[in-house]
């Protein structure tokens, strides 16, 4: 469904990604792991067209999408929930959510999609008239994901969905990502820094270190990997 090959990305002279790789198949939940500054957000931002790669290719549903602007990718069925959620703080929950259905393909199904999204995220209905900035962090994350779903994506990309959330809230959001896959048939890619949290939820994972994809595989395999332990837990006493 999504293939990223040999992706090089630089901000000016500062190269951040070096031949990064990623693949997501239909119906999969895939995580991108890696320490702070590894280039995870840059990878996702390049896939969605916010950043242009210097080299490499991004193919989504058999179409080249690298170089397409982000609003076109959304039209192609790719939704991206940015790091730190990025809601409009002084718009209501409902207005924030409806902004997700801006692309022409989604707009004509808006009412029907909203109903499905509200069934998954009751907070969207219950708090519809409330200003976004007055919600808790977990509720804001739910609204941000709900907004992404309004684009009727085939693939949902979420940058650090659990960032700053209490464990119970993070668990709820993890379960919702599962339901999005199970009930809506939408594939999911998410970024996470906690290995256990990420690999419990994902089918497969990719590990980025200093801008390179150094490891990938099924979650169970990565959980056992000494390389993963080295990167995330340090060399000490292994």
Residues that bind ligand ADP (CB under 6 A): 11, 14, 16, 34, 36-42
> CA nearest 77: which of 210, 185, 204?
185
Of the two residues 37 and 218, which places its CB atom closer to ligand ADP in the complex?
37
Half-sphere exposure of 236 (CA within 13 A, CB side): 3
| Nearest residue relative to Mg ion (C-beta) | 41
User: DSSP code of 92?
Assistant: B
| Residue 37 touches which member of ligand ADP, Mg ion, none, C-beta under 5-8 Å by kind | ligand ADP
In the complex with ligand ADP, the residue whose CB is nearer, 50 or 131, is 50
Helices (H) and strands (E) in the chain, counts: 11, 10
Instruction: Quickly tell me which residue has 């080295």 as its tokens.
Output: 230
Q: Which is nearer to ligand ADP, 39 or 161 (CB)?
A: 39
- Shortest reach from residue 197's CB to Mg ion, in Å: 15
Q: Which of residues 12-71 bind Mg ion (CB under 5 A)?
A: 40-41
- The listed partner (ligand ADP, Mg ion, none) that binds 140, CB under 5 to 8 Å by sort, is none
At its nearest, how many Å lie between ligand ADP and the CB of residue 40? 3
Name which of Mg ion, ligand ADP, none residue 80 binds, using a CB cut-off of 5 to 8 Å depending on partner kind: none
Answer with the entry of ligand ADP, Mg ion, none that 79 interacts with (C-beta below 5 to 8 A by kind). Answer: none
Please say whether the dihedral angle defined by the alpha carbons of residues 230, 233, 235 and 238, taken in this order, is positive or negative.
negative
Choose between 15 and 134: whose C-beta lies nearer to Mg ion.
15
What phi, psi does 146 have (nearest 5°)?
-60, -40
Q: How far is the CB of 99 from Mg ion (least distance, A)?
A: 22
DSSP code string of 136-157 = -HHHHHHHHHHHHHTT--SEEE
Q: From the list Mg ion, ligand ADP, none, which binds 89 (C-beta under 5 to 8 Å, kind-based)?
A: none
Q: Which is nearer to ligand ADP, 105 or 230 (CB)?
A: 230
Task: Tell me how far apart the terminal alpha carbons of the chain are, to the nearest angstrom.
Answer: 37
Estimate to the nearest angstrom the gap between the alpha carbon of 185 and the chain centroid: 16
> What backbone torsions phi and psi does residue 103 show, to the nearest 5 degrees?
-70, 145
Task: Give 86 or 224: the residue with its C-beta nearer to Mg ion.
Answer: 86
Residue 159's nearest CA partner among 59, 55, 82 is 82
β-sheet bridge partners, residue 157: 80, 189
Stretch that binds Mg ion, among 6-14, 27-35, 67-75, 78-86 (CB under 5 A): 78-86
Q: Residue numbers of the site for Mg ion (CB under 5 A)?
A: 40-41, 83
């Amino acid at each position: 469904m999504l293939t990223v090959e040999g992706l090089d990305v630089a901000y000016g002279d500062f190269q951040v990604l070096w031949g990064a790789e990623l693949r997501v198949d239909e119906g999969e939940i895939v995580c991108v792991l890696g320490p702070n500054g590894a280039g995870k957000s840059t990878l996702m931002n390049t896939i969605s067209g916010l950043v242009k790669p210097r080299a490499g290719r991004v193919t989504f549903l058999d179409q080249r999408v690298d170089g397409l602007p982000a609003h076109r990718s959304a039209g192609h069925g790719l939704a991206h929930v940015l790091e730190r959620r990025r809601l409009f703080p002084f718009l209501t929950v409902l207005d924030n959510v409806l902004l997700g259905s801006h692309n022409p393909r989604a707009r004509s199904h808006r009412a029907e999609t909203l109903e499905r999204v509200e069934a998954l995220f009751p907070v969207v209905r219950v708090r519809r008239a409330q200003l976004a900035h007055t919600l808790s962090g977990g509720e804001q994350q739910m609204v941000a994901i709900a907004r992404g779903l309004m684009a009727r994506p085939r693939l949902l990309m979420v940058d650090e969905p659990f960032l700053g959330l209490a464990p119970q809230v993070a668990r709820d959001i993890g379960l919702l990502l599962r339901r999005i896959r199970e009930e809506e048939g939408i594939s999911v890619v998410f970024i996470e820094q906690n290995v256990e949290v990420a690999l419990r939820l994902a089918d497969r994972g990719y590990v980025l270190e200093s801008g390179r994809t150094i490891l990938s595989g099924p979650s169970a395999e990565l959980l056992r990997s000494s390389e993963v332990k080295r990167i995330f837990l340090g060399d000490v006493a292994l």
